[in-house]
Structure 1
């Protein structure tokens, strides 16, 4: 058996990974995270969610433990301390580029949404998929057309939200400026995200590890979706959930059980604190 590397930081995706299909953290997963923390391993939630939709889970997991605990939100565009919510790292989107991207929704039944640090904004008439997404995050959506966007409002991430069919139609005809101005990623069947050009979970995780004085060989990443691909590539120990998409399983060094089978707990015991 290959000798386990000494893991000092575990980055854990939330939806489809930390959370089961009922959007809950199971007792077995909580216990494993507690044991990892007690062993001196730093736990960092690394999610596409805005931090507003992470608060309750940090509290449930009793994170933070100290002043050097962090959360990576909005798919790597923001890194914050979980004690003071100080932003220690961020990328933002250009307002003019947002307006160009928003015009693409005109032939479709979809919403253009965007986030600052705390709010979930949207344009157009709300669709069922928009309400579903807001409910999933436990957030109140705020209607704010881009022509009324305050010049000093910092936007970290934007999204197209629609049915899978509508989003497929949009994705098949994206103009070149989308790739030029943004880092687009299909994080869910009904969500196409537009991140700042150089932002992703892998880049944020690498920066945070460096700040904490850890090498990437001392980092474990656990995830399931396309938006986890970048952190899988940079982590010394990468673990795909049993329910992960094929592209994640192909890149990850290990595969754990699914999110319905306490896969995060299994990964922590098997590859982080086994020794």
Structure 2
């Protein structure tokens, strides 16, 4: 009898020495956070209320030109403080605690991996949880941004506070990219989930994996489907929940 995808994935995880995960927005959609490009996603939903395209409002140039509009969009559409981790976040935290998983590499900025218990999270696009004064470099938490009106100002120098997220027109953190490459090179199983694998250069990290089987979990086709040894188009949360039960960590 043919085994289902969750059984195959659980076996692969059980037999692996080192697992690495690379994920995108689809990892958090089952936690109530919309993705970017699908129907009802961030880019579509932001077009009626705001006078600029979401891609423009999320650019470095726009932040400095129109910071008030940037922050209105950012607070309303980019931050989900009440969101809770789903079974995929919990599975990855389980695997790290068991010494199986060496890193979560994520394009997400929501902090849900850490909320689930993951400690080694490489955030290639930054995080809403961290913010920096553009003048003196003082650091602030998310509460400072969300509990202020308009453009949050630094308490030390009065400068504008900017979220530590990678905006369009900004470079990715080279240290995070280097750590991601090392984690991928060390792994003998790679899980990729919830990403269209179209955003570069982050998506090119998947092409660097040569250590063993590649499992790709995504609802829609990606440019890397032909490279996957296991392709899963079911709900990530449902698959992760079954894998957790099969591994004995999801009771």
Using structure 2 for the length normalisation, give the TM-score: 0.45
In the superposition, the TM-score normalised over structure 1's length comes to 0.42
Q: Greater share of strand residues, 1 or 2? A: 1
